[in-house]
Structure 1
Amino acid sequence: MDTAAHHGRETAYRVVDTEGPRLCYVHGSGADHRLWVQQYATGGTALDLSGHGESEDIDADPGYEALSAYADDVLAVAEATDSNVLVGNSLGGAVCLHALLERETDIEALVLAGSGAKLGVLSRLRDWLDEDFERAISFLHEPDTLFHDPGALGSDTDGTSETNGNDSIERSKATMRATGREVTQRDFLSCHHFDVRDRLDEITIPTLALCGEYDRLTPPEYHQYLAAEIPEARREVLPDAAHLAMLERPEQFEGAVARFLEEHLD
Structure 2
Amino acid sequence: MTVPEITPTLLSAGGAGKPVLLAGAGLGTGAQALWIDAVPFLADFHVVGLDLPGHGASPASAETFTVAELATAVANVVEKLRASGDIEAAAPLYYAGVSLAGALGLQLGLDYPDLFKGIGVLCSGAKIGEPQAWLDRAETVRNSGTPTMVVGSAQRWFAPGFIEANSEATTRLLHTLQNADRFAYAHACEALAGFDVRDRLGKIGTPVIAIAGGQDEVCPPPFAEATAAGVRNGRAAVVASAAHQAPLEAPEETAKLLREFFLAA
Q: TM-score range by the shorter chain?
A: 0.7 to 0.9
Aligned residue number for residue 52 of structure 1: 55
Q: Which fold has the larger relative contact order, with Cα–Cα distance below 8 Å and residues 6 or more apart in sequence?
A: 2
Evaluate the alpha carbon distance shift between residue 169 and residue 234 of structure 1 in structure 2; reply closer, same or farther with a 3 A threshold: same
Q: How much does 1:192 deviate?
A: 2.5
Residue 120 of structure 2 aligns to a residue in which SS? Answer: strand
Displacement of 1:22 in angstroms is 1.5
Q: Secondary structure at the match of 1:116?
A: coil
The answer to whether the Cα contact below 8 Å between 1:29 and 1:91 also exists between their aligned partners in 2 is yes
TM-score (norm 1): 0.81
SS at match of 2:121: strand
Q: Which residue of 2 aligns with 1:156?
A: none
CA apart distance, 1:78: 2.8
What's the counterpart of residue 215 of structure 2?
214
Unaligned runs of 5+ in 1: 1-6, 154-163
The corresponding residue for 1:94 is 103
Q: 1:149 maps to what in 2? A: 160
Could you tell me which residue of structure 1 aligns to residue 66 of structure 2?
66
For 1:151 and 1:102, locate their aligned partners in 2 and report how far apart those are by CA, in whole Å. 37
User: Which range moves more in the overlay, 197-206 or 17-26?
Assistant: 17-26
Cα distance in 1 between the residues matched to 2:208 and 2:167: 33
The Cα shift of 1:96 comes to 2.1
Is 1:22 the equivalent of 2:35? no
Question: Does the 8 Å contact 1:50/1:73 carry over to 2?
Answer: no
In 2, the alpha carbon distance for the partners of 1:193 and 1:51 equals 19
Give aligned pairs, total. 243
- How high is the TM-score relative to the length of structure 2? 0.81
Distance 1:198 1:222 in 2: 14
Report which stretch shifted further, 197-206 or 123-132. 123-132
For 1:32, the aligned partner's letter is: G
The AA in structure 1 aligned to 2:199 is D
**Cα shift at 1:125:** 6.9
Aligned counterparts, 1:216-255, within 5 A:
216-255=217-256
Of the structure 1 ranges 191-200 and 102-111, higher mean CA displacement relative to structure 2 is found in 102-111
2:115 and 2:170 mapped to 1: Cα distance?
Answer: 36
| Superposition deviation, residue 129 in structure 1 | 4.9
Identity across aligned pairs (percent)? 26
Say if 1:172 and 1:10 are closer, same or farther in 2 by CA, change over 3 A: closer
Give the C-alpha shift of residue 97 in structure 1: 1.9
Over the aligned positions, Cα root-mean-square deviation in angstroms equals 2.5
